Every structure is written in C-alpha cells, then in structure tokens.
Amino acid sequence: MILFRKAEDIRQYLDKQENLGKQLSFVPTMGALHPGHLSLLSEAKKGGGISVCSIFVNPTQFNDAKDFEKYPVTLDEDIKMLEEAGCDVLFIPSVTEIYPQGVSDPSRYELGAIESVLEGKYRPGHFQGVAMVVHRLLEIVMPHHLYMGQKDYQQCMVVAELIRITGLDKRVQLKVVPTMREKDGLAMSSRNMRLKKEERKLAVGIYETLQFINKNIAKEPFSALKADAAHRLTSKGFRVDYVEIADATTLETVIEWDGKQGLVALIAAYLNEVRLIDNLQVVQ
C-alpha cells in the first residue's frame, strides 16, 4: 500500500497507473475504520484495478463542533487494517490540502430538495460540506468507480446528484454497497465506538424499530406506524430526531401507499450524546 498526503503526488501516481490501462476505484472515509468500510474496499477490489481509500475527517460537514471534536481517530489501526485488506493506495490529506482557500468557501451546490429533508433538516449545512469534500476528492482521485455505503442512504443520493450537476457523471460511476451490521443487527458505524456498554446494548433498538416498521407496513396508516415506532425508541431511552417512511428514489415522505411504490424507512436518534442513523428498504 502506498500512502500519499499531497494531492499533487497522488494525482501524479494515479495518472501513471491510468496510462498503464488501470481502472481506479475509490472509497472515501473519515477513518475509525470497521468491517463496513472494508466491505466497500472489498467491492472496490473486485474490479481488479487500483483501489484507493482516503481518510479525512471533513470539518465542513459537522454542524456540531462537539461532534467533530469527539469524532474517533484511530489512524495507526486504520492503516494496518487497510494494508491487511489489500488496499493499493491510501490518501490522508491535511485540511489545507483539501481546502487550499480555507474552509469558509461561500459557493453552494444546487443539490435540490434532497438537501433539506431528514439529515439535511436536522444537520443544516451538512450536505453542502459533504458535497464540498466529495467534489474535491473526486477531482483529485478522478476515479472510474466510487463506492459508498447504503448506511448513509441520503448521502448516496446527494453524491449522485453532485456527480450529475458537476458533469463528473461522464467519468465517475457511483456504486452503493449494502449496510454491514453487527451480529445483533446494529449498523456498523465509527460512532458506535463512543457508546458506553449499556448504550451499546440499547443501540440495536434502531434496527429493531426499522424491522418493526417493515413488518407492519401494510397494517397501519403510516402516521400511526411512525408514532408507534418513535414511541418504541423513546421508551428505550432514545431521543428521536426523525422516524420517516419515504419514497426510496426521491426520499419524499409517503403518506398514502399504493402497495407498489418502493419505500425506505429511516431513523435518526440519540443515545445520550451519540447520534445514530440507520435505514431499511421495505420489503413485503
């Protein structure tokens, strides 16, 4: 595995690889890696080209300064994990490498309605930050394939839109990888490291609630089902940001369901200080 810290150096190396006819597959991360991240790398490696991972805790996507400060950093372990998993190239840029003009760039991406619902509503500015960092990373790495996790369902949709509006769709193909879960069903997440033992036991309540929604999708009006689901979470000690049942392709709230429209159930909730998100595509 070759480690780069400078945009110019990684670009030079990748140019050479491309001239040798290699396809480039890219997995951007914020580090604190777990098997969910490695499942993206494993998909990226299936193409047989050069696999590139990045680790960068992006300050512009944190709307909550405390969340940024407390974001877990496990760089030595991450490097070891990626090396063992057969990653070809690792990019660990500094903030100035990603944001040479500083982090307060006033430019905005026109991401449409997807930006301001759900995560966008509860984390104002979050997706502009995601768009900034992903755009910059894509310009540096210029991958043919970009791998992202369904765990961040809305993020995948935002990035798909970003790729479209920037014209990068001529080059980059987004591939969405299913969510990897712990044995009990909890979606793997770097933030799980911050859960105390008792909280970790409770955390599976999010996945159980998504399954509850899936199971009862045709039995109750959605408003009642969402209220029941939220109540289940609060009774376990969660503080709920949202429980939503949405169209799987637009993320618009669905109130009346024809039984055919593709649906996704999404939850964001806190256990004390730690905010967790998860989602499940509804299957009947």
Residues serving a catalytic function are: 37
> Which is nearer to ligand AMP, 18 or 63 (by Cβ)?
63
CB of 147 to ligand AMP, least distance (A): 7
Helices 222-235 and 205-215 sit at what angle, rounded to 10 degrees? Answer: 160
CB of 148 to ligand AMP, least distance (A): 4
> Which is nearer to ligand AMP, 33 or 254 (by Cβ)?
33
> Which is nearer to ligand AMP, 44 or 177 (by Cβ)?
177
Distances in Å between the alpha carbon of 239 and those of 179, 230, 232, 242?
23, 9, 11, 9
> Which is nearer to ligand AMP, 10 or 187 (by Cβ)?
187
Quote the Cα angle for 36-41-204, to 5°: 5
Q: Which residues bind ligand AMP (CB under 6 A)?
A: 29-30, 36-37, 39-40, 148-149, 151-152, 177, 179-180, 187-190
CB of 172 to ligand AMP, least distance (A): 14
> Which is nearer to ligand AMP, 37 or 226 (by Cβ)?
37
